[in-house]
Structure 1
């Protein structure tokens, strides 16, 4: 069986179309839009673990949570700017939202299970105003494309507007990564491990 030039071109077009389709699906071409406004979450109780190291290495910690509670909202909070300090010394937490709303209490069995696995429980406040954006989350690789676009855009917006906003939050739900940087109550998002 011989392949002519037309066949080779057709295969090449299909391959390119497949690659472009995949990149579109994972959000490579998505343009982030930065705005300021209400938080996407209310007061939340979060089970978390504290980590130190390169932010690019946080994937396995999110996977740990997804294996335990695949239908719950994951959350990451990033405290340090890797452009200012050694990226391998950056501090962050990865956790799961176990209750939302003032006075809401998580299930005791969930708390006990997570604490037995080394998670700590903390309450984060509702923030009335924050700098925020979103990005589609269809596959794990979506988070890498999202981070490359969202963080520089968020930092530029904060700098250009002369705002005091920190730390940087990621919240995963509805096949979307919600990025949020509080404009108030900053200290209430810092876990006890950050005090040392």
Structure 2
């Protein structure tokens, strides 16, 4: 092979590597990541979603469906399980489009369009405190890079400060991926299907949660305790908008997984060995167990993939 041909091949390879390197950097490889506690990136929202119980790496198809129905709307993903602790086929997520935010209400035509495509409609309240971070959303690779870079820092931040933050949301808007985990009213961020999945769990199956439930309506939670709001103060969309209240769980533990990347576990309110409390308290515990059969679990990855 002539020398000039070899030289051309080398130059082409070097240029290819340079282009790949520039593409990865542009996608967010070196972007600064700031984790903080403060106001959420979204207000109270109404969104259309589809619920799936499957490996998070398959969630990309749900986002495509959302964009096909409402290409100009912001996408949102909510992730309830930690793929390192829950089998991939049982990881739960809700992926959809934001139809209305704050005082803005979705139109009946928009609601019908999404419902015709098989989406459900739900509303989230606006909370005062969340753990949040952002990452550039410039290419498809940005989603995976966000998972690899943002979630380990979120994990460290939450554990270091002993916060109770779950589930994990990802909001795609304005060329940014906004990561958010509420520190209050976590139960209001669990769609109805999460409770239905918990009820299908086989009897006697071990819960993934070691935390205890605390009946508190505090607007801010820290430490290993669990805070639960028993009211939904968010404004509701038309009659097709549904709500659910779910128990919460303490801190989260997620590895380097997808975009976004949360937590839900079955709650067990049995008194130890039947020896604690009076007979009246035990009956009360049994009654509570029927009505509170779901709790949150530590969460990990989201859209781009999982480990």
Matched, 1:71 2:75: no
Counterpart-to-counterpart distance in 1, 2:192 and 2:30: 38
Counterpart-to-counterpart distance in 2, 1:8 and 1:57: 38
Counterpart-to-counterpart distance in 1, 2:98 and 2:4: 56
Runs of 5+ in structure 2 lacking a partner?
197-307
Counterpart-to-counterpart distance in 2, 1:12 and 1:119: 46
Q: Which runs of 4+ in 1 moved over 6 A?
A: none
More strand by share: 1
Counterpart-to-counterpart distance in 1, 2:52 and 2:152: 22
Counterpart-to-counterpart distance in 1, 2:161 and 2:84: 20
Structure 1 position 7, deviation (Å): 4.7
Runs of 5+ in structure 1 lacking a partner?
none
Give the stretch that moved more between structures: 140-149 or 74-83. 140-149
Offset from partner CA, 1:106-152 (integer Å, 9 cap, x none): 01111001111111111101121111111111122211111122222
The aligned residue for residue 168 of structure 1 is 168
SS of the residue 1:180 aligns to:
strand
Indicate conservation of the 8 Å contact 2:69/2:113, yes or no: no
More helix by share: 1
TM-score w.r.t. the length of structure 2 is 0.60
Counterpart-to-counterpart distance in 1, 2:5 and 2:64: 46
The aligned residue for residue 21 of structure 2 is 20
Structure 1 position 176, deviation (Å): 0.8
Give the stretch that moved more between structures: 55-64 or 8-17. 8-17
SS of the residue 2:132 aligns to:
strand
Considering only aligned residues, what root-mean-square deviation do their CA atoms show, in Å? 1.6
Offset from partner CA, 1:69-94 (integer Å, 9 cap, x none): 11110000001111221122110100
Larger gyration radius, structure 1 or structure 2: 2
Offset from partner CA, 1:132-175 (integer Å, 9 cap, x none): 11111112221111112222221221111100000000000011
Matched, 1:46 2:56: no
Choose between structure 1 and 2 for higher RCO, CA contacts under 8 A separated by at least 6 residues: 1
The aligned residue for residue 137 of structure 1 is 137
